[in-house]
Structure 1
Amino acid sequence: MTANTRDRILDALESLLLEKGMSHVTLESVAAKAGVSKGGLLYHFKSKDALLAGLVRRLTERASDQLTSYTGRGQSVASWYLQTPNPDNAADAVELAIYRSMLATMRTIDAAADTEADEVQQALMDMMSSWSDGLDKEIDDPVQADIVRLVGDGVYLRALLGLPPIDPARYRQVVDRLLGQSAKPATNRKSAAAR
């Protein structure tokens, strides 16, 4: 089995979550959608919890890669964190993949909260910590870092829930104000984990 098989399994899980919801996610249904045997799925993911945690970890990796690209172009972690997701922009395959993964991951949260899904909970905490660590390294004031974090989370949540976006001009003013209070020159920034 290759990494491609692992991604096919996670893609199948993601599709099932987005199309049918958590109640239709079983090891058998994911394996069938991925075109692998149940044994093939279990080779990569030892349990349903491991499978769900794998989805969260892949989201973390995708976001980390996007952040690395973003900061590599001289942008700050805070400006990346505050960007508005655009799920309708099919031209941006990376953003679309992250958006879909985030939406699918949100559908696992209830299941993780209702069960003993320690591996899923840990993956979620690791993901959120990695994003927080990046902001905390970049922004000296922890309260300002929390404000950036909460605004970014809220804007992304609005998009995931399908709510109308905040007026772009007004949101640009919000971002400018936050970044004006928190941004450090690019030469002084420490490298960050992922959002």
Structure 2
Amino acid sequence: MVAEQAAVGSARERVLEAAERVVTEVGAARLTLDAVSHAAGVSKGGLLYHFPSKESLLTALAQRYVDSMQGCIDTAKGSLEDQNGRDLKACILGILGSDPRLKAMGAVLLATAANDLTLLEVIRERVAEHTRELAASGGNFARAAVVMLAIDGLKMRESLRISAFTPEQRETIVKELLTLADEAYR
């Protein structure tokens, strides 16, 4: 039974990984279940067992993106001292980190959401949760919110591949955001 559950989990993961590759290569609008099943090495019936529709697959990709982003934030948090502003700094470092997979998926999800706004629900819920945490953190909410908006803006530019910042300029911006995070909790 355990081996059967592991195989089911790994098949689901293979499908999601394949869907990420397909969506990154051809875009969400051109994503087909046949292409994903082929890329994952599973039958179309096997894919449909886990994801009964293209929409359910795209929703799972959105959830995977949000979970990966939260993982990056949690990893960054683990590397920071336990101090005021730690959560906000972890958002800066985690969200603006260098995971190329997340950069590619961010652009894909934006393009996909343009056609199906329900895909943004998972992201909307996570943003609302972060906003509540920010409001309850005891710092200067407005300043911390400005930092979060700057993170979102930079991430959006990079996801759309329209950022004109050099690596040095980007590094300076991240350092300034970390300074602003400190100031939000003084």
TM over 0.5: yes
The answer on 1:61 being equivalent to 2:67 is yes
> Against the structure 1 CA distance between its residues 99 and 134, is the aligned structure 2 distance closer, same or farther, given a 3 Å change threshold?
farther
- CA distance in 2 between partners of 1:150 and 1:123 (Å): 18
Query: Which residue is equivalent to 2:46?
Result: 40
2:114 to 110, 115, 127: 110
What residue identity is the alignment partner of 2:92?
L
Name the structure 1 match of 2:185: 183
1 CA distance for matches of 2:128 and 2:23?
24
Shift of 1:176: 4.2
Partner residue, 2:14: 8
Aligned CA distance change for structure 1 residues 71 and 30 (closer, same or farther; 3 Å): same
**1:63-78 paired onto structure 2 within 5 Å:** 63-74=69-80, 76-78=86-88
Segments of structure 1 that go 5 or more residues without pairing to the other structure are 88-94, 185-195
CA contact (8 A) 1:103 1:160 kept: yes
Structure in which a larger fraction of residues adopt helix: 2
Q: Partners in 1 of 2:40 and 2:181 — Cα distance?
A: 43
Cα distance in 2 for partners of 1:68, 1:172 equals 18
What letter is aligned with 1:81? C
Conserved 8 A contact 2:73-2:90: yes
- When residues 102 and 134 of structure 1 are mapped into structure 2, their CA distance, relative to the original with a 3 A threshold, is farther
**2:105 matched residue in structure 1:** 101
Structure 2 gaps of 5+ residues are 1-6
Q: Which amino acid aligns with 1:48?
A: K
For 1:158 and 1:121, how far apart are their aligned partners in 2?
A: 18
Aligned match of 1:146? 145
Aligned to 2:156: 157
Deviation at 1:98, TM superposition (A): 2.5
For the residues of structure 1 that align with 2:127 and 2:44, how far apart are their CA atoms? 31
Counterpart contact for 1:12–1:30, Cα < 8 Å: yes
Question: TM-score under structure 1 normalisation?
Answer: 0.75
The count of aligned residue pairs is: 172
**RMSD across aligned positions (CA):** 2.5
Percent pairwise identity: 23
Question: Are 1:135 and 1:149, in contact at CA under 8 Å, matched by a contact in 2?
Answer: no
Higher relative contact order by CA 8 Å / sep ≥ 6: 1 or 2?
A: 1
Once the two structures are TM-superposed, the CA of residue 170 in structure 1 deviates from its matched residue by: 4.1
Q: Any conservation in 1 of the 2:37–2:43 contact (CA below 8 Å)? A: yes
Deviation track 1:43-69 (CA, whole Å, cap 9, x = no partner) reads 111222211110111112112222222
Counterpart of 2:108 in structure 1: which amino acid?
A: A
Q: Give the aligned residue type for 1:165.
A: F
Residue by residue over 1:116-173, the C-alpha shift from the partner in whole angstroms, topping out at 9 and shown as x without a partner, is xx4x232232232244344334353332232111100011112212222261464155
